[in-house]
Each structure stands twice: as structure tokens, then as C-alpha cells.
Amino acid sequence: MYNIFRYIVSLTFVLLCSNYLVSQTLETDSIVVPLWQGIELETDVVPLISNLLNDDKTFRYEVLSRVNLKNKYFPVVEVGYEGKHRELGSGIDFTGTGMFYRVGLDFNLLKSMSTQAVKNKFLLGARLGYSNFFYDISNISYIDEYKGADITGNIIGLQSKSLWFEIVGGIRIEILKNVSVGWSVRIKNQLGEPEAGAIIPWYIPGFGQTGSSVWAFNYMIGYKF
């Protein structure tokens, strides 16, 4: 919990500092940028390819909506649907499916000299993620020490919820009129500790593999309205 607190404080500090620097630059240049600069829709293109290569239980669809305010503030909502199937090295078969949601705010660290919507962006932001999902665990083993036998069983229809925090950085370049591409890299940390002995999910839609911090990468393509 201390790490999460430190994480949030550090992020807030970085965002405030960067925001202050950008503000100072804009004020110096005396440019009045209109508040509403449009809305962007993006999707992650990597799963569009990987979905074809994986089995039908492993997939991800993800879309993002980002509002451009003064070319500086970008409130973001992300929605996705993800399924994961994996036979683990221990023989356990995991299958999970669920929706995930993220809300947050990006800051553009590049100063804008235009009153029009910026074409290129260097974004730094934060997200709060949430997923409500179902999962099955098959072929999980336990040892009957009394009889000296190794027994396997299935646990089907488990449901769970998860909340996590992300720091996100990335760039976007407009390659055609209103069409932009770019990437985002993000580090995610789960909020809250699982109860000891509880059957935690191996994978959380939108978050990734449980157990520690997760690094993730998105290659995005988007359209500006």
C-alpha cells in the first residue's frame, strides 16, 4: 500500500510540474487556445492481428476516446473486452473473459504554438482501471497426502472484480488528415491485496497477468473528429 501511495504522489508531482512548465510557456507566448479542440477515437491495432493468430478464447478488443481541451488536457475513457486462455507450465488450464474500463487524464508535454488542434502529441497520464470478469481453472492439482495420490480438479464459473492504477506515456503523430498513429507504454499496479488462500485469477482483462506490476504496450491508430 505504501508503494501505491508513493507511486501516486510521484505521479501527481510529475504531472503538476510538467503541466506548470507547459502553462508557463503558453503564457509567455500569449496564445489563447480555445477550450474545445475535438475528440479522438483510437483502437489498439496489435490485437486485431494477434486475435487471428491465437485460439478463439484469447482475444482483445480495445477502443479509446480522448477529448482535447486546450491542446493540453486530454480526459480519456478506454473500454475493452478481453479473453485469455493459457495452459500453464504447471498443467493448469486458465480461461478468463470480461469487460474492462479505464478512465484518466493525459497531459500533452509538447507546447502548442497553434490555436488549432495539435497534430503531434507527447502524452503523459494516469488511468484508473476496473474489470468485472469470469474465469475457469481446469486441471488444478492437489495432493492427497493420506493416500499418496495426486488429484486434479476443475473450478468453473468463478467471478471477480479488480481495480488497478496505471501510469501511461506515449506519442501520437498525424500521418494523414485527422488520422494519427502512435504507441503507448503503461505500467499497471493492482489496488488492494487478495485474501490469503483465495483462488486469484491468473489473468485480469485489461490488466494482464497478476502477481506484480505489469508493463504493457499499445500500438494505436486513431481518428480525430
Partner 1 sequence: MSRNRFTLLLLLGCLWLFVSCGSEDEVCRESTEVKLHIGFYKTGETKVSPIDSIMVVGIPGDSVFYEPTKNLSEIQLPLEFGVGVSQYAIRFNEKWDTLTVLYNSDLYFVSYACGMIYTHTIDTVLIKGQTSKGLSIPYKSVTTENVQHLQIYR
Instruction: State the minimum distance, in angstroms, from the CB of residue 184 to partner 1.
Output: 9
For partner 1, give the closer residue by CB, 157 or 197: 197
CB 180 to partner 1: min, Å:
11
**Applying CB under 8 A, which of residues 171, 187, 189, 221 lies at the interface with partner 1?**
171
Site for partner 1 in 183-202 (CB under 8 A): 183, 185, 197-200, 202
Burial of 177 (0-12, 13-18, 19+ CB in 10 A): exposed
In this structure, what C-alpha cell is assigned to residue 169? 506515456
Residue 26 CA to residue 111 CA, distance in Å, equals: 7
Please report, as residue ranges, which positions from 35 to 94 form the binding site for partner 1 (by CB under 8 A): 46, 88-90, 92, 94
Strands (E), the chain: 36-44, 59-69, 73-87, 93-108, 121-144, 149-176, 179-190, 203-204, 208-209, 214-224
Angle at 126 between CA 1 and CA 193, to 5 degrees: 25
In this structure, which amino acid lies at residue 73?
A: Y
Among 10, 24, 120, 132, binds partner 1 (CB under 8 A): 120
Using CA atoms of 7, 13, 18, 24 in order, give the dihedral in degrees to the nearest 10. 170
User: Pairing state of beta strands 214-224 and 179-190?
Assistant: antiparallel
**Which stretch, 3-11, 32-40, 56-64, 146-154, contacts partner 1 (CB under 8 A)?**
146-154
Give least dist CB 92 to partner 1, A: 6
Minimum CB–partner distance for residue 172 and partner 1 (Å):
9
Contact by Cβ (8 Å): 68, 105: no
Contact set for partner 1, span 84-113 (CB under 8 A): 88-90, 92, 94, 110
Minimum CB separation of residue 137 from partner 1 in Å reads: 8
Q: Taking Cα atoms as reference points, which of 145, 164, 138, 10 lies closest to residue 85? A: 138
The single residue among 147, 157, 176, 177 that binds partner 1, judged by CB under 8 A, is 147
- Position among 52, 144, 157, 176 found at the interface with partner 1 (CB under 8 A): 144
Residues paired with residue 184 on neighbouring β-strands, in sequence order: 170, 218
Which CB atom, from 67 or from 171, has the smaller least distance to partner 1? 171
- Closest separation in Å from C-beta 9 to partner 1: 28
Give the residues lining the site for partner 1 (CB under 8 A): 46, 88-90, 92, 94, 110, 120, 122, 140-148, 170-171, 173, 181-183, 185, 197-200, 202, 209, 211, 215, 217, 219
